[in-house]
Chains A and B, each alone.
Chain A
Amino acid sequence: MSEFLLEVKNLKKYFDTPKGKLHAVDDVSFSIKEGKTLGLVGESGCGKSTAGRVILRLLEATNGEIFYKGKNIRELKKNKMRELRKEMQIIFQDPFSSLDPRMTVSEIIEEPIKLNKIINDKEKRFERVLELMDLVGLSRRLMNTYPHELDGGRRQRIGIARALSLDTKFIVCDEPVSALDVSIQAQILNLMKELQQKLGLTYIFITHDLSVVNHFSDDIAVMYLGKLIEKAPAEELFSNPIHPYTKALLSAIPRPTLDRKVDKIILKGEITSPINPKDNCRFANRCNYVQDICKQTEPEFKEISPGHFSACHVFSDHLSGEFE
């Protein structure tokens, strides 16, 4: 068995659209150790959610391999995969559309336990539901209410309780707090962190908010138009970003302080279309450091220092001594 809980190799997901092939996830590789959190960041439409769904096989990948505990889950049969879903779960971004409006809170949390026949005795199952509600800080009083009667924070807690109701080890968290108010956001982030420690969970934490991902993750992977462009331990990424996009992204975060240390890098140009992209650096038309080579070939995603990967002709090749 490998040292990683999850390993993704050369993952690709293309969508057929009327205008051509949309490269939503294009040749992405990464791995996560058990009990750790990988933050996946990038702007809207860069393929974060698609990557998360493909890993759980809610969408079928176009190409590539996904190893969970050393097993390639893309080769699993439907019923074997269903078995595995008890361990691999997802928390959704939108606390309003991810819960069935016709079911009560307790029915929603109970459903996975019932469907997977984990606990067959009705009373015991009910005990478990209450236990889960306590675990995520939902008052037991709410068990017979419908989701639409609750606020976003509470609804997100339902989603978390449901994801934990099985034998959960690994959770893809798809922007779990971006729909919430800051004060509620902090409540949910603290809860998720506490649960990770208590239950030894492994997270992929998808977000577009870098301050959240910094607070939450061990490693951070930055995506741009379907590609991974940089990946490093969180601290390293923040103190020593290599890719020009990462630099711009870090500098662009509005900071709630009066003494701003970083100068803003304002990007020009617009994001290129993810449909039939050319074989060059996909960031080339917005990059402040663009060279001729960037417009001709695609930079390789390679290790620059231990654990720090990046894909940029100018910076990463320079640092690894290949660019002059």
Chain B
Amino acid sequence: MRNKVLEIKNLKIRYVTDDGIVEAVNGIDMLIEKGRTLGLVGETGAGKTTTAMSILRLIPDPPGEIISGDIILDNIKLLEISENEMETIRGRLVSMIFQDPMTALNPSICVGEQISEAISIHQDVTKEGAKEKAREMLEIVGIPGSRMEEYPHQFSGGMKQRVIIAIALSCSPKLLIADEPTTALDVTIQAQVLELMKELKEKLEMSMLMITHDLGVVAEVCDDVAIMYAGRIVEQGNLEEIFKYTKHPYTEGLFNSIPNIDDRKAELIPIRGLMSDPYNLPDGCSFCDRCDYALDICQTEKPKKIYFSGTHFSECHLYSGNSDFQLNCGKK
């Protein structure tokens, strides 16, 4: 029996602003099983952060509103419980790491106290106990416990991010959401932090939702991948299915846009154009005006999910009626 930690069903979220309505998330489904990491990939404005914030029920309202859908975390329907109940869930069942390590810590409180604060909110411990646990957490993320009393500005970017990880993990959540946790870090430091996150995930038997735009990071830490475009998940599958048997033209475009480090002569094939205006999404497939394969039907009708295996699906008209279609970089 599969052990579902997070299940999202037909989630729709929009922002109502003075300039119009942004349909940030347009009906997505998502499933994360125990101990697995799902990578959520997509470009700026695809709706990744919005999705993540909805799991914590932290969408700013107004302007944001969840129109429909279900979010089920550890058998609790998050959209149906009260704000008070939600507060006990945040940090205990699910916690989040934000992109910018520079602003996520309070500059005037020493790091040890910031960690022990997070602990004492959810756990019934004495002040001493919390402090002891905080020291332990700090050491788990590779910072000597003797630096408990230091302030964030005395730490480098990588160390700050590790403190944030320590805070996020201090109550052993079932699900860790990481929103571009290493984008602001250098490659060598990124390698350290990713390694650490992988290790801790194993140790604490957590599940993880890893938001990133870097397919390299995905290949390294994720088990499953969801490719998001204009508020929809356009392709999802396990690592091998996405990397080896790419189905959606957008996913293919992403791979072709990355310089190949092992082949410097390889030509880059960018995706042309820009993501459609989020205030005004097209009727048909949202990717249609950038897609080299587009058919007539793509302009008018939204593609439906087509499954290639129990886990692998793609939303693209190319495969309706012809599930053997092969992508070829848009060359007809």
Contact = CB atoms under 8 A, between A and B. Distances in A.
Interface stretch (B4-12, B20-28, B169-177, B250-258): B250-258
Interface string A175-211: 0000001111111011000000000000000001111
B19 to A, nearest CB: 12
A261 B257 CA distance: 21
Interface string B259-295: 1111010101111101000000000000000000000
Most chain A C-beta atoms within 10 Å of own C-beta, residue among B239, B244, B259:
B259
A256 B243 contact: yes
B219 A256 contact: yes
Contact of A267 (B44, B188, B214, B262): B188
B259 A270 contact: no
A143 interface: no
Given A214-B264, A258-B244, A43 B270 contact: no
A182 B213 contact: yes
Given A44-B157, A181-B213, A252-B190, A210 B261 contact: yes
B259 A212 contact: yes
B183 to A, nearest CB: 10
A266 B216 CA distance: 16
Contacts of A190: 268, 270
A271 interface: yes
B191 interface: yes
Nearest to A189: B268
Contacts of B158: 270
Is chain A's interface secondary structure helix, strand, loop, or mixed overall?
helix
Interface in B210-224: 213-220
Contacts of A253: 187, 216, 261
B23 to A, nearest CB: 19
A183 B239 contact: no
Interface residues of B, number: 45
B149 interface: no
A258 B271 contact: no
A183 to B, nearest CB: 4
Contact of B214 (A248, A249, A254): A254
B240 interface: yes
B237 to A, nearest CB: 13
A228 to B, nearest CB: 17
Contacts of A257: 219, 243
B88 interface: no
Nearest to B271: A183
B186 interface: yes
B260 A211 contact: yes
Interface in A227-284: 234-235, 238, 248-249, 251-258, 260-261, 264, 266-267, 270-271
B24 to A, nearest CB: 17
Interface in A284-324: none
Given A183-B253, A252-B187, A254-B214, A266 B259 contact: no
A185 to B, nearest CB: 7
A147 interface: no
Contacts of A183: 43, 253-254, 257, 270-271
A215 B215 contact: no
Contacts of B214: 254, 256
Contacts of B219: 254-258, 260
A264 B268 CA distance: 26
Given A210-B187, A254-B216, A258-B243, A270 B156 contact: yes
A151 interface: yes
A95 interface: no
A181 B43 contact: yes
A153 interface: yes
A43 B158 CA distance: 12
Nearest to B264: A214
Interface string B194-235: 110000000000000000011111111000000000000000
23 contacts: A43-B186, A44-B157, A182-B254, A183-B253, A186-B256, A186-B258, A187-B270, A189-B259, A190-B268, A210-B187, A214-B261, A215-B268, A238-B264, A249-B187, A253-B187, A253-B216, A255-B220, A255-B262, A256-B258, A258-B240, A258-B243, A261-B262, A270-B156
Closest 9 CB pairs of A and B: A254-B216, A186-B270, A215-B259, A186-B257, A43-B186, A256-B215, A252-B191, A211-B261, A183-B271
Interface of B: 43-44, 156-159, 186-192, 194-195, 213-220, 239-240, 243-244, 253-262, 264, 266, 268-272, 274
Given A187-B270, A208-B187, A257-B243, 10 more contacts: A183-B271, A184-B274, A186-B256, A190-B270, A209-B187, A210-B187, A255-B219, A255-B220, A267-B192, A270-B156
